[in-house]
A and B are shown apart, each in its own frame.
Chain A
Amino acid sequence: DIQMTQSPSSLSASVGDRVTITCRASQSITRTLNWYQQRPGKAPQLLIYAASSLESGVPSRFSGSGSGTDFTLTISSLQPEDFATYYCQHSADTPYTFGQGTKLEMK
């Protein structure tokens, strides 16, 4: 199975900051990498698919990049509603494992 490792596990930042979260796959997954946001008490929501494609309705301050084994999620200017937990997930082959999550907290 392909393992996904996110870093950092937690991150403190302020409104307006630029933040980057990284995700590494244990083997090449080409561009089959997705990013999700989960707010407390809510279901996850798709942000980015295919490494860099923005899901419909997601603000343009979110962006993704990478291919192969190394990927990043960037939020260009943090908004109050962005403080949440973020997960990467590969979809190269089943099982479609998730990273352990990155909790983004307000500084």
Chain B
Amino acid sequence: EVQLVQSGAEVKKPGESLKISCKGSGYTFTSYWIAWVRQMPGKGLEWMGIIYPGNSDTRYSPSFQGQVTISADKSVNTAYLQWSSLRASDTAMYYCARRDNNWYASDKWGRGTLVTVSS
């Protein structure tokens, strides 16, 4: 069974750093792109960026370029989303999702990681 298991909820203060994770199983992790999607409280879905774990090729939405870093470690089948200095406006649910290789839809999703940034 294909699964994406995300790390647990985080509560951080403004200015702190954070790295959340998404571990894939049940498929060849290095053969599928993994996307990250933000959902702010009560709002819609925002596509942040995507990484190919096979060679770490990464693409960012212009809205998120320079604000976050997407990475992957294929030795542990895990993709990451990280911030160097969090802001209150980063408070949101963050989902990872696998991109299918034919029509590029997000066919499998993690359950999400809730990040709360508050002083």
Kindly state the interface size class of chain B when it binds its partner.
20 to 34
Of A15-23, A71-79, A87-95, the one touching chain B: A87-95
Any B CB within 8 A of the CB of A81: no
Is the beta-carbon distance between A34 and B106 smaller than 8 angstroms?
yes
Is the beta-carbon distance between A49 and B50 smaller than 8 angstroms?
no
Kindly state the interface size class of chain A when it binds its partner.
20 to 34
**Interface SS majority for chain A:** loop
**Interface SS majority for chain B:** strand
Choice from B44, B59, B107 contacting A98 with Cβ under 8 Å: B44
Within 8 A of B (CB), among A44-58: 44-46, 49-50, 53, 55
Show the binding face of A for B, using Cβ within 8 Å.
1, 32, 34, 36, 38, 43-46, 49-50, 53, 55, 85, 87, 89, 91, 94-101
